[in-house]
Amino acid sequence: MTVRLDPLAAAPTLMKQWYGSSVSLIEKADPDLAELIKIRASQINGCANCINIHTYMARQNGETEQRINLVAAWRDAPCYSERERAALGWTEALTRLSEGHTHVEAYEELKKHFSDEEQVVLTMTIIVINGWNRIAVGFGGWADPAALKAQTAAAA
């Protein structure tokens, strides 16, 4: 991984605002489900940094290695609930918008398992992780997840 630009150094105010917005947009998200969503979107986007961070965070939240390892093949893995499958389907559909209109089918499944508010929270979580993926992939970002956790705790 070659860091091309440190966006925090280049635009500290903007990046702090983005970070703050990111946190506030998804604060109502179920943390366990949110980590699975972040891992899956990051896999699709090829973001090693975010996969590293969110698999670490999922483990910290008590997620099993089996479920972390199988999230890329969630359709065939029996360890996810129907609710989680609906969320992962929605994640894939929104992350891959340019590949077709799978979001219509994914939404039908999503609304069976999530309230209107939960659908918005889930969608915002997907938007946020896709944004972070683009920042990390675009600029070659890499961060140690344990250090990020410590920084976040210190800032709180």
Q: What's the pLDDT tens digit per position in 22-47?
A: 999 899 999 999 999 999 999 999 99
Angstrom distance (rounded) from CA 77 to CA 85: 10
128-135 average pLDDT score: 98
Residues 6+ apart with CB under 8 A from 28: 117, 121
- CB-CB neighbours of 75 under 10 Å: 10
Angstrom distance (rounded) from CA 117 to CA 136: 29
State yes or no: pLDDT of 19 exceeds 70.
Answer: yes
Residues 6+ apart with CB under 8 A from 42: 50, 51, 54, 129, 133
Band of the pLDDT at 15, cuts 50, 70, 90? very high
Angstrom distance (rounded) from CA 48 to CA 84: 23
Of 68, 76, 70, 46, the closest CA to residue 140 belongs to: 46
Residues 6+ apart with CB under 8 A from 137: 45, 46, 47, 49
Token digits of residue 79? 């360890």
State yes or no: pLDDT of 1 exceeds 70.
Answer: no
- Mean of per-residue pLDDT scores for the chain: 94
The answer to whether the beta carbons of residues 45 and 134 sit under 8 Å apart is yes
pTM above 0.85, yes or no: yes
145-149 average pLDDT score: 81
